[in-house]
Structure 1
Amino acid sequence: MFELLGVPPQVLFGQLLLGLINGSFYALLSLGLAVIFGMLNVINFAHGAQYMLGAFAAYLLGQYAGIGYWWSLLLAPLAVGAFGIVLEKTMLSRLYKLDHLYGLLLTFGLALIIEGVFRQVYGVSGQPYPIPALLQGGQNLGFMFLPNYRGWVIVASLLICLATWYAIERTRLGAYLRAATENPVLVQAFGINVPVMITLTYGFGVALAGFAGVLAAPIYQVNPLMGSNLIIVVFAVVVIGGMGSILGAILTGFGLGILEGLTKVFYPEASNIVIFVVMAIVLLIKPAGLFGRER
């Protein structure tokens, strides 16, 4: 069947794998953005810089503390999340009653500052980060060769996305979070500390970006610009899925990654713009996004 389309199976499945890998990062990053916007109504333009911080945290932990990949996968997101909590307490918390534009401008400025500092110290050539020994090599599936680490990235991303969706949509904690966004005064009357909950929610969303950065470090070089190269696409994914929609962020992230991979097979010239074309079509038909709700 593939030969009838003029595409060798190895090329098609290779691009589908690449699309799934890209989709894994789109889903993780857009999920973090959706959590932050859905719970805090903040458009976090610093998300790309925080993704980059996760990669650099893993790199620095390895270089100066001798901490390997597996511990970095835990410690780096915690460090980036803690940094996000500091930002929320000192800056973002002052903007919640203002228009969304103020939060966007603040986080955009923070992204420029963070990236500028790392560019000044490390340049833009990038730093290598090794694949952990346990995940080196790959599997011959017959129709394609699957590198172990890339398979791990897809599985890890999917597990984290599903766990986050379950926690927010199916647990009591998630119900408190959703209620706090709708009526914080009522929720606080039940003895729940809403400001602390909001702060931890922002920290969690930022930690998701840091986790994605650690996953990306062995695939892409650790580079101060790695976040800015990705964040515009991720925002397009969030808009298509619906701002604040957890399920929309996950499904749209993986789906658009696959679509981008297929476009590289059949019409490579359009692969860089296909997501933005989809965004334009979705906004014309359903301005709230595929899974979003009209506000």
Structure 2
Amino acid sequence: MERIVIATRRSKLALWQSEYIKERLLELYPNMTIELNEIATRADKILDVPLAKIGGKGLFTKELEIALLNKEADIAVHSLKDVPVEFEEGFKLAAVTKRFDPRDAFLSEKYSSIDELPQGAVVGTTSLRRRMEIKMLRPDINLKDLRGNINTRIAKLKAGEYDAIILAATGVQKLQIEDEVKYFAPISTDKMTPSMGQAILGIETLDNPELIELLSALHDKDAHIEATIERDFVRVLEGGCQVPIGVKATISEDNQTVKVDAIVGMPDASEYIQDSTTVEIGKFETVGKEMAQKFIAKGAKELLAKAEKVAFQ
């Protein structure tokens, strides 16, 4: 192939991610022409309603998939946490990139950490998972919806609408805007379990063997293992994107084992199921599914059904 067109959303973060993939491809194939096709998705246009009420995270990928079908692009670059666990027929997840920082982050102009927040402080997030995990750490916190791109969210924090906000650390780091707020503090995954695939980029294509082979050079083995476990866990739970599920697979330093931490529950943390397991790395293709079955046996599907009703109220 001599030319590749990348379908991308127009947000600064999405453009950074697509430019990152473009640069990686040009390192491998310096004579190739690579262009970006910027697409405004519905989720980027509707900024005053929680995602759960307008169709979930699939909104971030659907228009890009249409561009692939219409031959307006060859590949689409996504934050993997936004990619539904089931693909429509004909689409493929061709590669996943090396994982960036998977942690959530605490941002504030006044306070250095969640622990430092005063009683009843206002914290901004629309993620049901983050709501649940913040309430587990600080039941007294008042949660307030927070939509918009990263820069918009930080502007709302600086305008005094929130005492603190919670974002994915990787987005802030990629845009190099950590210094725009007084306190930027990534939160240990021991305290807050991230979303499946958080901080991994996924490259989607139509089922094109030549293109998939070309993209295989970007595929990261460790990210593939961790993402497979996390996405299997969510797929078996049939959790979708609108419910509070955290799952993080972490490969050991010696590459022999993988630890899986997972949590599902209600957005207000009134009920939740939490567990972890460590297995040999060779079992990565089964451990996510097996862990999900254990959660199901503990009532996870019923709990998630209740949580989903709350999301649409």
After TM superposition, the score normalised by the length of structure 2 is: 0.33
Higher RCO, 1 or 2 (CA under 8 Å, sep at least 6)?
A: 1
Higher helix fraction: Structure 1 or Structure 2?
Answer: 1
Higher strand fraction: Structure 1 or Structure 2?
Answer: 2
After TM superposition, the score normalised by the length of structure 1 is: 0.35
